[in-house]
Amino acid sequence: MSENLISIKAFLGKYYSELLYSAGQDKYKNTGLDLFFEQRFLIQNNKVQIIIDPSITGLNITVSGNELTISKELYDHPNVTISNSLENVQATNPKSLYNSETFPTLAYLICQNHTTIEIVGEIDEPIYVKYKSDYETFYSSVLVFNIFDNIDVEIVEEIESFSALNAVTNYIIGTNSKLNLTTFYQNHITALSLCYRNVIARDNSSFNHVLLGKGSTFIIDENRIHAMSGSKTEMLGIINSDGKNFNSILRVEPGATDYTVSVKYKDILHGKANVSFYPIIIGQVPVGDSATIEVSNILLDEIPDDRREAEIKAYVSDIIDRTILGRMAGVKRFYDNKSKFLYFYK
C-alpha cells in the first residue's frame, strides 16, 4: 500500500460535516456511503491535462479523473468543439457548483477545471466516453456535453473502476435535439462508483438512457432531469447484482407541466445483493400517465439451475432488444460491451 494515501475524511476538511449529513439522506440510506469517509486513497490534485492521441481510432474520450485522453478524430471533428474552463476564463468559482444535497458533486471540490464538449452539428458515429480509476486511487471528473438545437447524438458511457471513481457529467440537450445514451458498468468487485448525470432537457428534446449495470462494493448511479416543455425522458435499465450492491437515484425537477418521464428497471438478484431505486419528482407532476416508473426483480436463488438462463433471457429480452445503436459506423465496441454484459446468461 502506498504511503501517500489519505483518508477521504481528512481530505474533505471543512466540507466533511456537510457531506456526512448528505450521506445520511433517505436516498443514500443502506448504500454503504457512510463507510466511505474512513477509506484511504491517492487523490489527484493536478489541473486538467488533455492528451490528443492520433493513434486512437473513432470518437473516443478516456477520463481518468483530471486526465483526459481524446482521439484526434474526435478533437478535430468539424462538428465538435472541446475546451476546458481555464480556456474559457470564468468568473464563477467552480466550487460554487458543489451542493451537499447531491453527494457526488464533491467532484467540484476536487476537479475544479471542467471539460466542455460542444456538439454543434450531426455526427455519424457514437461518441465513447470511458471513465476509469486505478488501484488505490480516488479519481473525480467533471464533463459538460452541450448539444446544440436540432441534433441527434449517440453517446456510450463505459464505467470501469479498480478503486474509487466519482464522475459528474452534465448533459445539456438543445431544443428539438435527441440524446441516446447507453451506460455499461464494468466495475471490479472491490470498486466504488459515484456517477451523477445532470440532464437539462430543453423544449421538445428527447433523452433516452439504457443502463446495463453490474454490482460491486457500492455503486450510486444518480440522475437529475430538469424537464422543460414537451421534453421526453425514457430510462431503461438491467442491473445484474452479482451478489453485490447497486443503487439508482432519479430526481426530476420540472420546468414545465407538459413533459413525460418513463422508467423501467429490471433487477437480477442473488446472494446478499443490495439493489435499490429511489425516485422523486420535485414540483409539478405531469398530467395523466405522463410519469411512469416500473421497477421489478427476479430472484435467481429461487430458480432451478437448469431454468435460469431461459428465465433471465425472457425477463430482460424487451430491454436487451432495445439496446442498440441507430448508426452503422463505429458500433463494434458498443456490441462487444453488450455481449460482455450478457455473459451472465452462461
Q: What is the pLDDT of residues 112-153, one digit of tens each?
A: 778 999 999 999 999 999 999 999 999 999 999 999 999 999
Closest CA to 188 of 160, 167, 157: 160
Closest CA to 199 of 171, 178, 233: 171
Joined together, the cell numbers standing for residue 125 give 458515429
- Whether 333 and 341 have beta carbons less than 8 Å apart is answered as no
**pLDDT score, position 92:** 64
Average pLDDT over residues 43-71: 91
Q: Between 91 and 36, where is the model more confident? A: 36
Q: What is the pLDDT of residues 67-92, one digit of tens each?
A: 999 999 999 999 999 998 755 555 56
C-alpha count within 13 angstroms, C-beta hemisphere, residue 210: 20
Q: What is the pLDDT of residues 195-253, one digit of tens each?
A: 999 999 999 999 999 999 998 988 999 999 999 999 999 999 999 998 899 999 999 99
- Whether 139 and 64 have beta carbons less than 8 Å apart is answered as yes
Query: What separation in angstroms does the CA of 252 have from each of 23, 207, 277, 281, 284?
Result: 20, 13, 14, 5, 9
pLDDT at residue 1 is higher than 60:
no
pLDDT at residue 255 is higher than 70:
yes
Residue 242, classed as helix, strand or coil, is coil
**Res. 3 pLDDT band, cuts 50 70 90:** low
Count of C-beta atoms within a 10 Å radius of residue 53: 14
C-alpha count within 13 angstroms, C-beta hemisphere, residue 162: 9
**pLDDT score, position 248:** 97
Q: What is the pLDDT of residues 294-314, one digit of tens each?
A: 999 999 999 999 999 999 999
Closest CA to 127 of 149, 151, 110: 151
Place of cell 433471457: 313
pLDDT at residue 325 is higher than 60:
yes
Spatial distance between the Cα atoms of 91 and 113, rounded to a whole number of angstroms = 13
Joined together, the cell numbers standing for residue 325 give 445503436
**pLDDT score, position 32:** 84
Rounded-to-10 torsion of CA 91, 103, 268, 126: 10
Query: What separation in angstroms does the CA of 96 have from each of 24, 107, 109, 172?
Result: 22, 11, 9, 19
Mean of all residue pLDDT scores within the chain? 92
pLDDT at residue 333 is higher than 90:
yes
Spatial distance between the Cα atoms of 284 and 255, rounded to a whole number of angstroms = 8
pLDDT at residue 338 is higher than 90:
yes
* pTM value > 0.75: yes
